[in-house]
Structure 1
Amino acid sequence: MDKTAIRDAATLILLRDLPDGPAVLMGQRGKSAAFMPGKFVFPGGAIDPNDAQVPVQAIAPDVQVSLTQDSKHTPTAILAAAIRELWEETGLILGTPGTWHDAHQGWRGFAGTGHLPSAQGCAFFFRAVTPAGRPRRFDARFVLAAADHLASDPDDFSRAEDELSHLQWVHLAKARDFDLPFITQVVLAELTAHVNGTRTDAGVPFFRNDDEDRLVTRLGGAAVL
């Protein structure tokens, strides 16, 4: 496999209202990781072939339409990948009670909890391509969901795999104090505007990374940054 080729990926931004303000779920990548070593990130990763066959519940019609735009993957595959990465990296379940007897490889642990993956409340929030010259490159769709839709304890990370350490709910007001990738800083700025009610609804921001100006456009719209 060409490791410099751009792979499609999905990231889950989980937003939680805490008594002292909104927070997002983040964890730290290993310092020896090939991609973004030591950085604090949202759960996410590459879309797997099996994700397209997953019975994702409750996909909103507008999300179905927006995730179809300029994508070789179905909305089901993108949302499934985001939910699976959340499960693998944090042990949290974004799902609804249900029996899944024929779960594919990579999903059997999730199915074993007695849940079907659910996109209830999920929104297509951001898209970004990793800059050229990095050891791994991804075309990532960022999906936003509220922690209220979790079917598990939001503070229980006991079933998480070891890809992310220091899993925690990071207050938006303090998130930029962490060691973050540049694109995560951009997404957090957009998320803060969303929480404050100042975000435009003109379309999903797309950070293309295909020009010297690192232009951000909105899917179907004009440049915004």
Structure 2
Amino acid sequence: MSDQGPPIRDAATIIAIRRQPGPPAVLMGMRGAMAAFMPSKYVFPGGAVDPGDADLHLARPLASSDQARLLAEPRDGVTPDPAALAAAALRELAEETGLLIGRSGAGCPLPGYAEAQLIPDAGSLIYLFRAITPPARPRRFDARFFLIDAAEIHGDPEDFSRACDELSHLHWVPLPEARALDLPFITEVVLAELAELLVEVGDGPLRAPDTVPFFDNRTRTPRFSQIA
């Protein structure tokens, strides 16, 4: 551990938003009480990028505009890999919830996708937010948050039977109720950004925000910026 805290790992988080039926709701689960990072907090599915994510074939890539934004403001000596970040988000969603976002195709090695004959599809993911964990935390991540409409989920969005045990109490939480849960600070901020975007799009399709908010805690002096 340096004077800047533990090493920073790339991470990806996925925010699934369900707008029908009823009011908008997001998919969340609670981390275990013994977890080293954010114990007992309600979070979106997500986690660190694995080495294999860079090799995962995607049915469609991220939008080119989101790829460009993901390359902005790199950490010293680190070149972001937009495809690996998108793959990590889809993999973590599958592992932690059992839900899949893909297109027909064979050969994907990921559990769930292989059985369903699907190839993970990043074409509808929207880059919404970025945050780097402050130095004082026991683990640090450079987390990119991706938004996806629940209509893109393959199969029943209520079927969590294939989920691992990393998150408990998985459920679709109406946005007003989500703000009342025991949340990490950054999750509260992301929910506020999401609510603002939903007001802007109304009943129309989800779209990328005008800029991506970035909570930059690379050093002990926090910085907030907008990635255009």
Q: TM-score scaled to structure 2, two decimals?
A: 0.87
Q: Aligned AA for 1:142?
A: F
SS at match of 1:197: helix
- 1:179 equivalent in structure 2: 182
Task: Quote the residue 2:59 is aligned against.
Answer: 57
Kept in 1, the 8 Å contact 2:15–2:146? The answer is: yes
Structure 1 residues 197 and 212 mapped into 2: Cα distance closer, same or farther (>3 Å)? farther
1:155 aligned to 2:163? no
Structure 2 counterpart of 1:127, one-letter code? R
- Number of residues paired by the alignment? 216
Q: 1:52–1:77: 8 Å Cα contact kept in structure 2? A: yes
Matched position secondary structure for 2:214: strand
Alignment CA distance shift 1:136-1:211 (3 Å):
closer
Secondary structure of 1:112 counterpart: helix
CA distance in 2 between counterparts of 1:126 and 1:144 reads 9
Matching residue's letter, 2:166: E
Match of 2:98 in 1: 91
Q: Which residue of 2 aligns with 1:80?
A: 87
1:158-182 deviation per Cα after TM superposition (whole angstroms, max 9, x unaligned):
0000000000001111111100000
Distance 2:21 2:84 in 1: 34
- State the shift of 1:200 in Å: 9.8
Contact kept, 8 Å, 1:13 with 1:42, in 2: the verdict is yes
* Structure 1 residue 18: Cα displacement: 3.1
Q: Which residue of 2 aligns with 1:188?
A: 191
How many angstroms does 1:25 deviate by? 0.4
Give the Cα–Cα distance (whole angstroms) in 1 for the partners of residues 134 and 96 of structure 2: 24
Relative to structure 2, which stretch is displaced further, 14-23 or 164-173?
Answer: 14-23
* 8 A contact 1:128–1:206 mirrored in 2: yes
**Cross-structure match for 1:22:** 24
Aligned-residue RMSD, C-alpha: 2.3
Q: When the two structures are superposed, what TM-score results if normalisation uses the length of structure 1? A: 0.89
Is contact 2:30-2:169 (8 Å) kept?
Answer: yes
Contact 2:134 2:220 in 1 (8 A): no
What is the correspondence of 1:108-119 to structure 2 with a 5 Å cutoff?
Answer: 108-119=111-122
CA contact (8 A) 2:127 2:208 kept: no
**Is the CA contact (8 Å cut-off) linking 1:127 and 1:139 kept in structure 2?**
yes
CA contact (8 A) 1:202 1:218 kept: no
- Counterpart residue number, 2:204: none
1:204 aligns with 2:227: no
Q: Give the distance between the partners of 2:32 and 2:145, measured in 1 at CA.
A: 21
- What's the offset of the Cα at 1:108? 4.2
The answer to whether the 8 A contact 2:135-2:220 is kept is no
Task: Provide the rounded CA distance (Å) in 2 between the counterparts of 1:173 and 1:20.
Answer: 13
User: How far did residue 22 of structure 1 move?
Assistant: 0.3
**Runs of 4+ displaced beyond 6 Å:** none
Stretches of structure 2 that go unaligned for 5 or more consecutive residues are 202-206
> Which sections of structure 1, spanning at least 5 residues, go unmatched?
221-225
Judged with a 3 Å threshold, the aligned counterparts in structure 2 of structure 1 residues 55 and 210 are, in CA distance, closer, same or farther, namely closer
CA deviation digits over 1:138-197, x for unaligned, max 9? 000001110011112100000000000000001111111100000000000000000111
Match of 1:139 in 2: 142
C-alpha displacement of 1:202: 3.8
